[in-house]
Amino acid sequence: MFVLLLAPLLAQQIKDNDRQLIGIDVIEHLGDTIPSNLSFLDENGNSVKLSSLFITGKPTILTLAYYECPMLCTFVLNGLGEGLGKIPYSSGEDYKLITVSIDPNETPQHSTTKKDVYEKEYNKISWSFLVGDSIEIKSLSEALGFQYYYDLNLEEYAHPAVVFILTPDGVISRYLYGLHFWPQDLKLSLLEASKGRIGNTIDKLILYCFQYDPDAGSYVVFAANVMRLGGLVTVVIMGIFFGILWTKERKMMKRI
């Protein structure tokens, strides 16, 4: 009897949670370009256009968070920092790393505090933390398909855990989800977004052999390309082998 009485209350609670979760989502806009005229404040309180922070010819990693977040944002940023610390590319040289606060009440002082913490923790990484007004934040989040809301009861923002990879021109190239980001996924997504402008020849060959699988949420081996590459390598090896035989045969013929 107690269970029967409790069931309607549990059902109502689930429905209420479902209504709240509707406000948290990521609508992927792969191939779209984020607005180039969005302005934010940097750690020094200077107004900067987001696009002006991009490095010419290099990709950008962008995250949306807020600096007084008690839990999720910290997990995402920590996971990103740990993953980036394990790849051979340098932030500020091979790619740009930017975080924008979704809380319009946060100030450059919040940015400075966060920057100091993360650049000290991950000393190989140069990281820009920005704040802005609600209009600019909304424009950026809508362009990225990042849906979130402010929970009045908890006095916190509810939002998804995602990292955005942009091309040098600000085109959305890849979405990476979760709290832990595999170094391989970060490396391949940067290679993909840069269109071969970063990384060495071996990196580019590795990218050729992998493809992003949305279901797995990661890069997986692309068998067809591996077979093509294997066939090409076989042809090259055979060419070298027969070339050596032909050279030896010519030398022998000259001696005769």
On whether residue 29 sits in a domain, the answer given is: yes
Residue 18: pLDDT band (50, 70, 90) is: very low
CB-neighbour burial class of residue 66 (10 A; exposed 0-12, middle 13-18, buried 19+)? buried
Task: Look at residue 213 in the predicted model and tell me its pLDDT.
Answer: 72
Residue 79 lies in a domain: yes
* Residue 73 covered by a domain: yes
Question: Measured at the alpha carbon of residue 176, what is the angle toward residues 170 and 181, in degrees to the nearest 5?
Answer: 120
Evaluate whether residue 165 is within a structural domain. yes
Does any domain span residue 214?
no
In a domain, 121, yes or no: yes
Average pLDDT of the segment spanning 54-60: 95
Tens-place pLDDT, residues 189-248: 999 898 855 555 555 555 556 666 777 767 776 544 434 434 434 434 444 544 454 455
| Angle, vertex CA 164, rays to CA 192 and CA 96, nearest 5 | 75
Residue 83, domain member (yes or no): yes
Residue 20 has pLDDT above 90, yes or no: no
Is 138 within the bounds of a domain? yes
Range of the domain at 69: 23-195
Q: How much of the chain exceeds pLDDT 90, in percent?
A: 62
CA distance 166 to 60: 5
Number of domains in the chain: 1
Band of residue 179 on the pLDDT scale cut at 50, 70, 90: very high
Q: Find the CATH number of the domain harbouring 169.
A: 3.40.30.10
Burial 180-205 (b: 16+ CB within 10 A, else e): ebbeebbbbbbbbbbeeebbeeebee
For residues 129 and 67, the answer to whether their CB atoms sit within 8 Å is yes
Cβ atoms of residues 63 and 77 within 8 Å: yes
CA distances from 29 to 67, 141, 195 (A): 25, 11, 19
The alpha carbon dihedral of 30, 34, 40, 46 has a sign of positive
Q: What is the pLDDT of residues 87-110, one digit of tens each?
A: 999 999 999 999 999 999 999 999
For 188, phi then psi, to 5°, come to -70, -35
Residue 206: per-residue pLDDT: 58
22-52 tens-digit pLDDT = 578 999 999 999 998 999 999 999 999 999 9
Specify the higher pLDDT residue, 16 or 92.
92
pLDDT of residue 147: 97
